Every structure is written in C-alpha cells, then in structure tokens.
Amino acid sequence: MTTNKAVVLLSGGLDSTTALAMAKASGADCYAISFNYGQRCNAELAAAERIVKSMGVIEHQVINIDMGKIGGSALTDDSIDVPEDEPEGIPVTYVPARNTVFLSFALGWAEVIGAQEIYIGVSAVDYSGYPDCRPEFIEAFEAMANLATKAGVEGESIKIQTPLMHLSKAETVQAGIQLGVDYSLTVSCYQADDDGKACGKCDSCRLRIKGFEDAGLEDPTLYI
Amino acid sequence: MTTNKAVVLLSGGLDSTTALAMAKASGADCYAISFNYGQRCNAELAAAERIVKSMGVIEHQVINIDMGKIGGSALTDDSIDVPEDEPEGIPVTYVPARNTVFLSFALGWAEVIGAQEIYIGVSAVDYSGYPDCRPEFIEAFEAMANLATKAGVEGESIKIQTPLMHLSKAETVQAGIQLGVDYSLTVSCYQADDDGKACGKCDSCRLRIKGFEDAGLEDPTLYI
C-alpha cells in the first residue's frame, strides 16, 4: 500500500493543530509548513515547533516571507491596533491574501515531494469573517492548483483538505481531544507574550475560550 | 477621472519589462513587485531596479521569500544544473508554484493599495512549457483571487492582465520597442554573471535571441 503524503499548514494554533491530528489520523505521512511572515506573535512559531515535536511529522519547514512590507493588517503592521471588541465585517486582523500565499507555498512543496493533499484548518462556522476561509475560496484555489502544477498537467490531482470547514470551535476542540491533541501546546492569541501566554481579549482568544466553554471541556490555555 | 492602479510583476527580464511598458501605456499608475526567491541570478533584481528607475513607477517592492527551501528547481537548487539543450516536457528550470506564489503576493498588495489590475508577462506562445504560464491557469487564478479578497466580497473585482499571452517573443519585442523599452536594461538569462551579462546558451537566452532575430531587430543584450 502506498502511503498518502500530506502537506499541513501549521500556525501553532488550535485549528491547524487539530487539522494536523486529523491528517495523521487519516494515515497520511505529514509534512508541516509554518510561516514567519512578520506576524506580531512569535509565540505561534514556538508553539508550532513544540507541536511537531510532540505529534511527529516527516519534515517541518518554516518559511520566511516579509509580508509586513505589503502591510494592511493589524497582525503585521505595528501602527494598527489589535481590537478587543467585536468588529463588524472583515476585521483589521485580516492579512491580505494570507491564506492564498500560504497555500501557494504549500502547493510548491507538495509538488516537490509528491504530496496529493494539503490540509488547512479553516472553518466557515466560527470564523472571523476572513474571505479566504470560505468553502468557495478553497474550491477555487483547488481548481487553480490543479492547473498550476506538473501534477495537474500530468493528470494527477491535488486535494485541499479542510476537515474543520463545517465544525464549530466547540466541535473542533471535541474532535481534537478525541484524537489526543494537547491544546496546552497551542497558541491562538494574536498578541501572546514571549512565553506563549494569551491575552484572553482578542478576537481569536474570545473564539477559543467560547469553544472550550461550549464543548464543556477544560481550557488548558495559559492566560497572562 | 480616477486613474487605475496596477500591480506589475517585474522580474527584470524582457517579458515583464514589456508588460510594465504596456501597463503604463494603458494609463495605469504602476506599482512594481519583484522577488528575491533564492534564484541563482541576482542580476535579474539589479535589472529590475534599473528598469523602475528608467521607466518610472509609483512604488517598487522587492519581497524576500525563501523558495529555495522548497527546492525542486535548477533555478533555486544548486545541485541541479541549468540545461543548455532543448528539454522535453516541463523543464528542470520550472520553479514549483512560482507564478502562483508571486501572483498571491501581488494580490495581497493589490488589496492593500486598492489596485484593480495585476500585470504578469506570461505567454502561451514562445514559452518554456511551464504549466503556470497557460491561459487556463491565469483564468483560474483570477477566479480564486476574486473569492480570496475583501474586494471580491464587496463586489469589486481584480483582473489579471496578461498582455503578452498570445504574442510570440518576436511580437513582444516589437511591441516593446514601439513603446520605447530599452531592452539593454533587461536580463533574461538563467545564469547571468554579476554584471548582468547573459550566457547565450540557456533556454531563456535561446528564446530571447530567436525573438530579436525573428523580429528583425538588433539584440542589445550583453553576452559573456
């Protein structure tokens, strides 16, 4: 039997870690890819390192990209504050084209190693209003990916796997716990401190806290 | 009258420089974006700098991305030789998902500055067999781009402009000369030396030499 290879986008947060656990549970050989993209929060990357050590992957790449040069987001631009209340519409923490850029790198790596799948932990349920988390975006990316690559030309195909797409944050946490994910390793906060402690106030923290509450599970997150 | 803003992918080569000239001729305010992606040839980026100084753009971004980590191409992997004969199929100089990654960054910048157009100098005529130069790839990217961004959500749209798509290299050169492009500023060679002198032997050089010959125009390229 040939084992599937899967490239997994791993931010070090709750969702991508759950997606990694699901990719592993599917039996795929997992290749994790993380990005140092000028995000405020380097605690995320430290979390990604802890997670791959704990969960096991074939290889882990951390790609440096200076997305901050493009600007336009509170996550990469220090002149824009991370908000602590519920925003209307697309929030300032949205990084323009971030998932497109991340998936494009994952696509390049998938082509090099011969992976048939790319896992991304996006959800259309408890999400933050980012356009590039919607199923129609993922479908369009997959269609493009299959035209962009040698694999597509040669009749093979790349599948973008989004196992969390229709799960609430609570359902994601429940699924992850069943797969043995240690969420204390993960960092979701947009402005975690250097030790990985979360603010408990930003949009991402609020979604995470509510996820554990709704799931009726203990929140192992360390807060400042 | 509102002026269109266009992001132009500028490698410093013949094609992208012609695309920039065409974007300028359309009346758009041009924002050039170049990539330092671990390519062998830094003469390309030096050419891009000369070109933006000579032709004028509103802003020029050079984005550092470590594509070499992903590997798989003679252009970013020193262990693979650049071939000097006609290859069959997709050549080893193909960088996996390169145009996808470049267009994704351009998309992010377009979103931040409010540009409606992205210019890329790909051609389906005299091209090197790269899957991500084909019109069906560009159409799929555009469809994806309009789902990936705020603009798409808000009903605006991004157009991927490929003015060279149906031009031969000779037609591209003729069009550029008519627009006043100084091709001596450009570097197409995959292995140019530090002064920007071309090898005259690689796939890209051969296509360029033939383009000037077929156009009946003098080739201003400096060869080693």
Q: When comparing pLDDT for B129 and A162, which is higher?
A: A162
Predicted local confidence at residue A180, as pLDDT:
96
**pLDDT reported for residue A47:** 93
> Residue B63: which H helix or E strand, with range?
strand B59-64
Q: Which residue of A has its CA nearest to B89?
A: A150
Find how far residue B17's CA is from the centre of its chain: 7
Q: Determine the distance from the C-alpha atom of residue B199 to the mean position of all C-alpha atoms in its chain, rounded to a whole number.
A: 19
Residue type, A58: I
Min distance B56 CA to chain A CA atoms (Å): 20
Please report the pLDDT score of residue B186 as a whole number.
94
Contact B185, B176 (CB under 8 A): no
Q: Which residues of A touch B61 (CB under 8 A)?
A: 69-70
Helix (H/G/I), strand (E/B), else coil: B74:
coil
Q: In what order do the strands lie in the sheet with A29-36?
A: A59-64, A29-36, A5-9, A117-119, A159-161
The average pLDDT across A176-203 equals 90
- pLDDT at position A168, please? 93
* B68 reaches A (C-beta below 8 A): no
Per the rule left: phi > 0, alpha: psi between -120 and 50, beta: everything else, A27 is: left
Percent helix, strand and coil across chain B, each rounded to 5? 40, 10, 45
> Cβ B141–A143 below 8 Å, yes or no?
no
- Count of H-run helices and E-run strands, chain B: 7, 5
- B75 against A33, higher pLDDT: A33
Query: ipTM for the complex?
Result: 0.87
**Contact (CB<8Å) A72/B112:** yes
The residue of chain A nearest to residue B31, with distances taken between CA atoms, is A70
pLDDT at B133: 85
Query: What confidence score (pLDDT) does residue A62 get?
Result: 92
Which pLDDT value is given to residue B132? 85
- A148-157 per-position pLDDT tens digit: 887 666 777 8
Q: Which residue of B has its CA nearest to A146?
A: B137
Cα-based distances in Å from B37 to A34, A93, B102, B119, B167: 17, 27, 10, 19, 27
Pick from A31, A95, A104, A113 the residue to mutate for testing the B interface (most B CBs within 10 Å).
A104
What is the amino acid identity at position B65? I
> Which pLDDT value is given to residue A34?
95
Q: Which amino acid is at B124?
A: A
- Interface contact B111-A152, CB threshold 8 A: no
- Does A79 have pLDDT greater than 80? no
* Structure token digits, residue B83: 């071939």
The Cα–Cα gap between A211 and A222 comes to 15
**Segment of A11-20, A73-82, B151-160 carrying the highest mean pLDDT:** A11-20
- As to burial, measured by CB atoms within 10 angstroms (0-12 exposed, 13-18 middle, 19+ buried), residue B194 is exposed
Tens-digit pLDDT string for chain B (224 aa): 567 999 999 999 999 999 999 999 999 999 999 998 876 667 889 999 999 999 999 999 998 887 777 766 555 655 656 556 555 555 555 677 889 999 999 999 998 899 999 999 999 886 566 788 899 999 999 999 999 887 666 777 899 999 999 999 999 999 999 999 999 999 988 888 888 899 999 888 998 999 999 999 999 998 98
So what's the pLDDT on residue A131?
83
Six token digits for residue A168: 């609430």
Q: Is A190:A42 a contact under the CB 8 Å cutoff?
A: no
* Residue B139: exposure state from Cβ atoms within 10 A (0-12, 13-18, ≥19): middle
Beta strands in A3-121 (DSSP E): 5-9, 29-36, 59-64, 117-119
Q: Which of A82-86, A218-222, B59-63 has the lowest mean pLDDT?
A: A82-86
Closest CA to A6 of A25, B98, A89, A15: A25
Q: Assess A105–B contact: CB distance below 8 Å, yes or no.
A: yes
Give the model's confidence band at A70: pLDDT under 50 very low, under 70 low, under 90 confident, else very high: confident
Which of A67, A99, A140 lies closest to B143 in CB terms?
Answer: A140
Instruction: Name every residue whose Cβ is closer than 8 Å to that of residue A150 and which is 6 or more positions away in sequence.
Output: A111, B90, B94, B96, B131
Q: Which residue of A95, A96, A105 is in closest CB contact with B101?
A: A105
Mutation pick from B137, B138, B158 vs chain A, by most beta carbons of A within 10 Å, is B137
Q: Which helix (H) or strand (E) element contains residue B118?
A: strand B117-119
The SS3 assignment for B83 reads: coil
Q: Domain-by-domain residue ranges, chain A?
A: 5-215
Q: Which class would CATH give B5-215?
A: alpha beta
Q: How confident is the model at residue A208 (pLDDT cuts 50, 70, 90)?
A: very high
Distance of CA B191 to the CA centre of its chain: 16
